[in-house]
Structure 1
Amino acid sequence: MSDIYRLATLEDAERVLHITYEAYVTIRELGLTWPAAHADLALIQDNITHNKCYVLEQDGLIVATVTLADPERVKELTAETGLPFIMWFAVDPNVQGTGAGSKLLNWVEQHIIRDEVGAPAVTLGTAEKHPWLLPMYERRGYESIRARDAGKGEGPMHLMRKVVHPERFEAYLQERKQAEQIQQTSSQGN
C-alpha cells in the first residue's frame, strides 16, 4: 500500500466532502453545530483555499483529511495559546480502525507542525458530549487545557494541546511566563 501525504486541491473537494460528511455522522446525531459536520461543497472549497487542508491518499484514494487552520481565521482559538490549531479531522468510515487517521495526524504533527511551522505544540477543539473523541485524543497525547460551555446545549468544548517538540515547549512556557509577568507589572504600574 502506498501512502501519499499532501495538501488538498480544489479537485479533491468532492472526495473531502464525502469523507467529512460520512465521518461526522455522530456529531450531527449529537446536535453539535460544528461547521465541518454540516459542510457543503462551497465550504469544503473555502477550507481548501484558505487553510492548509492535508489529505492521506492510499493507493490513489483519499482516505483521511485534517486541516491546519489559518491563524487569522481562528484568532479566538489561537490568541490564548499562540499555537497552531488543527480542525476538520475526518477518516473515511471504510478505513476507520486501520491506522490511516493516526498516520495522517502523526505526519501533520511531526512534519508540518514541528518541522515546517516550528511550533512546540499543536491545539484542537472537541466536545465532551461526543462519546469517544475526547478519550481518543487523550490516548494520542493531547491534554485538555481549557473547557468552556458556550450555553448552546452542546456541553463543554475542550481546547486540547499536544506537545510535539519538548525542548521548544519548555522555552515556550518560559516566554509565556515572562510575558505574563511583564503584563502584570505594567498593569500594576498604571
Structure 2
Amino acid sequence: MAEQYRLATEADAERLLAITYDAYATIRELELHWPAANADLALIQDNVRANDCYVLEVDGDIKATVTLSKGNELKGLTDLPFLKWFAVDPACQGQGLGGKLLDWVEQSVTERLQVSGVTLATAEKHPWLLPMYERRGYERFYAFDPGNGDGMMHLLRKTVHSGSLQTNPGA
C-alpha cells in the first residue's frame, strides 16, 4: 500500500467532490450549513485554487482530504492556521487514513508556518465530530451560535509544537 501526501490540483476536483459529498452525508442530514456539505464542482475547484487543499493518496487514489484556509475566518480570535473541509472516503473510514492525513498536515503546516498549533471548527449537534477531535488532542477555546440553525459551534485548537515556535498570545 503506497501512501502519498500532496497538495491537490484542479485535476483532482471531481474525486474531491465525490469524497466530500459522500463524507458529508451526516452534515446534510443534520441540516448544518457548511459549504463543503453541498459543494459543487466549481466550489471544489475554487477551494483548491484559493487554499492549500491536501490529500492522502493510497495506491494512486485519493482517500482523504483537508484544507488549510488562506482566508482570515478567525481574525481577532486566533492567529493560528485554520483547517477545514476534512473528509475521508466513507469506504475507507475506520482504517486510520484520516488520522494519518491530519497528523501529517498538522506537523507540516506548523513547521512550515512556524506556529505552535492549528485550529478547526465543528458543530456541537454533530454526534461524533467534537469527541473525535478532542481525542486527537484538540481543545475547545471559543463557542458561538452563528444564528443560522446550526446551533452551538466550537472552535478548537491543538498544540503541535511547544517551546521555540511562535505562539498566539491573543487566544
TM-score (norm 2): 0.96
- Quote the residue 1:172 is aligned against: 167
**Percent of residue pairs identical:** 61
Q: Does 1:155 align with 2:151?
A: yes
Alpha-carbon distance between aligned partners in 1 of 2:164 and 2:94, rounded to the nearest angstrom = 32
Give the AA of the match of 2:147.
G
The structure with more radius of gyration: 1
Alpha-carbon distance between aligned partners in 1 of 2:146 and 2:115, rounded to the nearest angstrom = 28
- Quote the residue 1:188 is aligned against: none
Give the superposed CA RMSD: 1.4
Q: Which has the higher contact order (CA 8 A, sep 6+)?
A: 2
Alpha-carbon distance between aligned partners in 1 of 2:156 and 2:163, rounded to the nearest angstrom = 19
- Quote the residue 2:50 is aligned against: 50
Conserved? CA contact 2:84–2:121, under 8 Å: yes
SS of 1:77's partner is coil
For structure 1, which runs of at least 5 residues remain unmatched after alignment? Answer: 178-190
| Aligned residue-pair number | 171
Higher helix share: 1
Residues 129-151 of structure 1: CA distance to partner in whole angstroms, max 9, x if unpaired?
10000000000000110110122
Q: Does 1:69 align with 2:69?
A: yes
Conserved? CA contact 2:115–2:167, under 8 Å: no
Q: Offset of 1:26 from its aligned partner?
A: 0.2
Alpha-carbon distance between aligned partners in 2 of 1:165 and 1:148, rounded to the nearest angstrom = 27
Q: Offset of 1:114 from its aligned partner?
A: 2.0
Q: Does 1:83 align with 2:80?
A: yes
For structure 2, which runs of at least 5 residues remain unmatched after alignment? Answer: none
TM-score (norm 1): 0.86
Give the AA of the match of 2:14.
E
